[in-house]
Amino acid sequence: MRKELLSFQETAKRFEIRSDTQVQRWKRIYLEECPEGLYEKRRDRNSHGGVRPANKLKPEVEEDLIAEVQRLRAKNAYLKKTESLGSERGTPKQKAQVI
């Protein structure tokens, strides 16, 4: 494909590959992971609902990140509420109303 400057469709047709989308996937893998990436056995997206990340996080790290995201979302929502009350910082009474 690269040597002869073929499109995805032309490449699929020449090598009798059913889908030019598969050629696109192979090209992406080749560019992102080098040729060795093409030798890895991969599951189809439909077999488990999505492609799994190459480096899976440890469960405790994932839990910490989820907790931090929840904390930051709550903080962000709180700050948006106090701003909607009219003053930048809000009075203690307004803060209590938000909570």
3-state secondary structure 23-76: HHHHHHHHHHHCHHHHHCCCCCHHHHCCCCCCCCCCHHHHHHHHHHHHHHHHHH
Tokens at residue 74, please? 């709550």
Under the banding of pLDDT at 50, 70 and 90, the label for residue 92 is: confident
List C-alpha distances in Å: 8 to 20, 23, 80, 85. 5, 6, 48, 56
Q: What is the value of pTM for the model shown?
A: 0.39
Tens of pLDDT, residues 35-50:
777 777 765 555 444 5
Element (H, E) at 83: helix 59-84
Element (H, E) at 98: helix 92-98
